[in-house]
Amino acid sequence: MTLDNILEEIKKAETIVVLCHESPDGDAVASSLSVMHAVAKLGKEADVIIPEYSKVFDFLPGADKILQKGRTNKYDLAISVDCSDLKRLVGGKEYFETAKRTIEIDHHSVNSMFADFNYVDPVAPACCQVLIGMFEYFGIDIDKELGTCLLTGIITDTGGFQYSATTAETFEFTAELLRRGVNVSDIYKRVLNTVTKANFELSKRVMNRLEILENGKVTFTYITKEDEKQVNAEPGDHEGLVEIGRNIEGVEVSVFIRQKEDEEDVYKVSMRSSQYVNVSDVCLMFGGGGHPRAAGTTVKGDVETVKQKVLTELKKVL
């Protein structure tokens, strides 16, 4: 069984590294730290490498141990969390492909199964929910610190339990973590109800530029590198901006794009849908992917070109 194989690989590895996807969200950061805490309970030490992430997640237990670079480029075991494709894995070439053995833990429905051992549960609304089941199978005690990380991933990836992917198990796990001393309300406030000043300033620009298209079914908006520079934005300050359009009555798909840091003519595209459009399928047309109601990709061109390319695909599914 895959879980038994994963436990065996962890126990025999001397050096372990944990990696997640680029532009990490709460589930990615929290999943990484959760694995670090869990392997420590198995008597092992794991390096968590996340070069850039939002300071919103600095409150997570163990966040001070996150590394920007690995302590070696030849780990015995590399563990990928919350990433569906090796191309999106930060440190994929440096640490994952050079490791002796590799493990992938994920919950995306479209997954390339790129590791030696792949454990993917596409029904789970968050990678952290997948991890809870794994840790229970391993007999790992989920204490307050580990539980805080796990619940942060669940809360962020379910939008505070409001997305349709949320399951009965999600609430059962949350209730159990609450009993173990995890402060649910504090996590909720930190990750969903608190924004940085830069995020607030960017949200004003996003709203000013927002277009309502396709008979009110689609919204489109954007920010540029210059915008981020002017508001002194840090990694993660764009989080949540795509939700602004989806919250408008009658909107099925919200599209938010932002200029890629190192390429003038490439934009990162984030999409959210409300009821029936599978935005993962739309993003797949551009080489991206994600979840049916939340997905992303990159598209080449200026703002108007990217908008027209995305709209062309959206019109086919509206």
- Give 44's pLDDT tier (boundaries 50, 70, 90): very high
- Distance CA(183)–CA(88), nearest Å, equals 32
Which residue is associated with the tokens 């532009």? 23
pLDDT at 235 > cutoff 90: no
Answer yes or no: are the C-beta atoms of 29 and 60 closer than 8 Å: yes
For residue 140, the model assigns a pLDDT of 97
Burial 58-78 (b: 16+ CB within 10 A, else e): eebbbbeebeeebeeeebbbb
Q: What is the pLDDT of residues 180-217, one digit of tens each?
A: 999 999 999 999 988 899 999 999 999 999 999 999 99
Average pLDDT over residues 235-256: 94
**Ramachandran angles phi, psi of 16, nearest 5°:** -130, 140
For residue 180, the model assigns a pLDDT of 94
For residue 222, the model assigns a pLDDT of 97
- Give 261's pLDDT tier (boundaries 50, 70, 90): confident
Q: Supply the mean pLDDT for the chain.
A: 95
Query: Which pTM was predicted?
Result: 0.89
For residue 109, the model assigns a pLDDT of 84
pLDDT at 291 > cutoff 90: no
Q: What is the pLDDT of residues 62-114, one digit of tens each?
A: 999 999 999 998 999 999 999 999 999 999 999 999 999 999 999 998 889 99
Percent of the chain whose predicted confidence (pLDDT) is above 70: 100
Torsion 62-178-131-298 (CA) sign: negative
- Distance CA(119)–CA(248), nearest Å, equals 37
Q: How does strand 46-48 pair with strand 16-19?
A: parallel
CA 245 to chain centre: 20
For residue 262, the model assigns a pLDDT of 77
